[in-house]
Structure 1
Amino acid sequence: MPRWHLVAPQTPIQSRSGLIVAKILVVDDEPDLELLLRQKFRRQIRKGTLTLVFAQNGVEALKQLEAHDDVDMVLSDINMPQMDGLTLLNQLNELNRDLRAVIVTAYGDMKNIRTAMNRGAFDFITKPIDFKDLEATIAKTLAHLEVMREALRSRDELVAIRRELGVAARMQESILPTDFPSDTRYEIHAAMTPALEVGGDFYDFFNLEDGRMGIVMADVSGKGVPAALFMMVSRTLMKGTAIGEPDPTKALAEVNQLLVESNEEAMFVTLFYASFDPSSGRLMFANGGHNLPYVIRQNGEVQQIDCESGVVLAVLPGFDFPGGSLDLEPGDAIFFYTDGITEAMNEVGEEFGDDALAEVLAEVAGSDAASFSDRVVAAVREHAGEADQSDDITCLCLRYANRSS
């Protein structure tokens, strides 16, 4: 199996604020990699929006960093001669440079992924690498770096709460996926409307082994920058663990243990995680104290998923999380959401509530995934009227179309 499996790019790499202007150091001992990446990124290189620098091991990488003090991102393999990628991460920490590191590792190699994240890696990519995944990871990493640099430039002004919340909002936005999967078997669509006082809502979806899709809906305690940072850690640990652990209950237990071990701020996160198999319609799930999603059948029947609540993550070690499974038929949908929807208040303090949410979902039964999230958000806004939005409004809909690809 090739280590790098690249498909042709569809669009130039972009950050949230526009085209990336960046310098990336690629560290890998694969002999053909430099030619391959220069070919794939030729448009960006010609336009001057992207500069690539290469090294074959960690020792060469440190020399390149000495020669290039404007490197924004390091993309490094783990297994290399002379100095491996994990040792390089330690060296990067000692350099105290304003950059981000992304590691390349074998599929499901949780031991090295954990070690890399503990040593300061921002994200990871698994082999064989798909170009779309690489492109998205680069864009996300550089977008986050852009936000953090802005925060550092404005740190004196961060005493002002509004500026801090603005940074937190951009941190939150930078990790939320906005390119939804294109598959004839299912649809995914999500929406997030941040509150003025930014919370820690996030959603995620990612490819798993055997064609399955992982889906996450979560809500971090607290507000502002601390919540946004804890949200980033929670998201990365959930994705990394899910890739190596097919059982959602065990995956959640592992993420919980990792969060407990490094939770100096005493924060917590409610999280619902599901693994969906489009070839069969089977949805396996686990819950960590989060709102239970709704199942919307093709015939308009609406009911919440049958599962215990469990406890929030990052508080108690060694906890077994509840879970279960259900089978979707073509035309059925699952609606994931956070409490910013059901607890949204109008001018007289009345919450939107579960009953109103179920009614809206029943009205949209049989529609596409985007219609579910759009209609619910519109209904919540109509209910709230002129009342201030006190929490993030976040939702995601998975609609099952058919079993054949």
Structure 2
Amino acid sequence: MQPSDSGFATRAIHDGQESDPLTGAVVPPIYAVSTFHMDRVNVLRAGYDYSRSTNPTRTALETCLASLEGGVRGLAFGSGQAATDALLRTVCAPGDHVLIPGDAYGGTYRLFAKVYARWGVEYTPVPLDDLDAVRAALRPTTKLIWCETPTNPLLRIADLAALAQIAHDAGARLAVDNTFASPALQNPIALGADAVMHSTTKYLGGHSDVIGGALVAGDEELGEELYFHQNVLGAVAGPFDAWLVLRGIKSLALRIDRHCANAEAIVDMLLQHPKVTEVFYPGLPDHPGHDIAARQMRGFGGMVSFRVAGGAEEARAVCERARLFTLAFSLGGVESLIEYPAEMTHAAVSGSSLEVPDDLVRLSVGVEDVDDLKADLFQALG
């Protein structure tokens, strides 16, 4: 059986990562090279000419990403924002319209509000878990539904198959930011999405040591269009960054199981704490998107958000009192992180319809011993 026909953990370790034919090295080499020797004019030895266009280490990562997401082409970028930008430049033109989540990641909102709006691309925030609201927000100029599920930071769940049908009926495309779930838990292309985006900085890299992004296309035509923009714009992943993400992916299947198990234990603890007024986690039976998440995901993830009694002041204090949970941006690493979205990841949406509650705390639950994590949160809550 070839790796591409195998299970997720096998593909994560093997697809795109065959032994080096020259030396037999079992890990793809880091090709720290800008240009490649041609034997004759425009006759390439192995398909490589210049590393902005293609690089063997990046090719290994892109092949693996396409396999894990069930797409036809993967593309690796210097950051998740660079990947998002390339997709928007590919799909949208001045005068076009995009639907975005009602609680989108602050950086995504900033890209639309501060950059693309200046070039005539309009956007409408809409709760994507309300399909009637999605239909009502469509315009004849709508070219894209940009989806996060689970969303950041309120962990709302969107029905991907239903959104894909709505988008395609309207002549639009569905793109999904799959960063929070990772391909270990969710594969949007199998549910009808046209493209998937990842911040590979997060669960795919998994060790808080690399910045990167990725796109995976569901069809060849879109894949070629995305590659054109990747090459022209040049915001590609460098070979060492690509190698670090590949290294992280090898352990993703193992890590995600621990992330999920630890998150569930943390949720149980938070539900019983008198200072916690609300917990957001799609694994909870009373979460409004629980049934959809159970259907389209293979686990509920390692992200947890909660609100605390005492408002903004106490929410900040909880973040600052934490010790094992590191107060920091980002998510998806082996270490647990805590943050205050209103003034950190989602500061850009302050004063907009996407503004997050000022008593909200977001956790990225890592893979430490869960009893230690619970003890730290207990003391941080006071």
Question: With structure 1 as the length reference, what TM-score do the two structures score?
Answer: 0.30
Instruction: Flag the structure with higher strand content.
Output: 1
Greater RCO structure (CA 8 Å; 6+ sep): 2
Question: With structure 2 as the length reference, what TM-score do the two structures score?
Answer: 0.31
